[in-house]
Homo-oligomer: A and B are copies of this chain.
Amino acid sequence: MPKRTGEKYKVIIEAAIRVIADNGYHGSQVSKIAGEAGVAEGTIYLYFENKEDILISIFRNKLGEFISAAPQKLNSSENAFEQLAYLIYLHFYRLQNNPKLAHVLQIELRQSDKSIRKGIAEVIKGYYRLIENIVVDGIHRGYFLPGLDPKITRKVIFGSMDEVATCWVLSTRQYNLLTLTEQVYSALARSLSRDEEYTSFPPGLKLVLQ
């Protein structure tokens, strides 16, 4: 029933990110979001089913952008370790450059009710698949250890990035998240192979980070 498209749809989403980042989900009245977006309260409901739907839409929209943009970059290298390094870099880059979005994604989104989590679960599967693909391909092509369980490995990778990101947000971002890229990479890369030759941090990325 709601439109879910158009200029105002985007305006409301961006406004919601700002408001929710500042006030938390439960502290973000629909009226406040409408005010920030410069539309009437009722207008919200022309574009979103309800308040929950705003939160889910933020997630779907922003993670969607990320997932659709990622593969091109990841496939620029055939080296699975470089892909992993790039994944972590992109994950952190996105968050570092969208602090308010980061707060919503890492903190507020987890506050949500069962129905919200359902909406999120479907979207995040795409990201999970992305990571698992890197793992499975890396194993096939001989970069990663053949005995790795792709699901567990995906959870270790995602869990590590996520925990680091959450801590960064909770620290009120007193340091640059990107500076942790190499260290997280090292820890994870070592899990994936015994071969030191491969697991060193990609020099190209190192330059970018400086």
Contact = CB atoms under 8 A, between A and B. Distances in A.
A57 to B, nearest CB: 19
Interface string A109-150: 011111001000100000000000000000000000000110
Interface stretch (A9-17, A92-100, A157-165): A157-165
B187 A152 contact: yes
Given A24-B114, A113-B26, A121-B170, A152 B191 contact: no
B149 A156 contact: no
What's the dominant secondary structure at chain A's contact region?
Answer: helix
Contact of A111 (B111, B160, B161, B187): B111
Interface residues on A, range: 35 or more
Contact of A163 (B107, B149, B159, B187): B159
Given A113-B111, A170-B121, A184 B163 contact: no
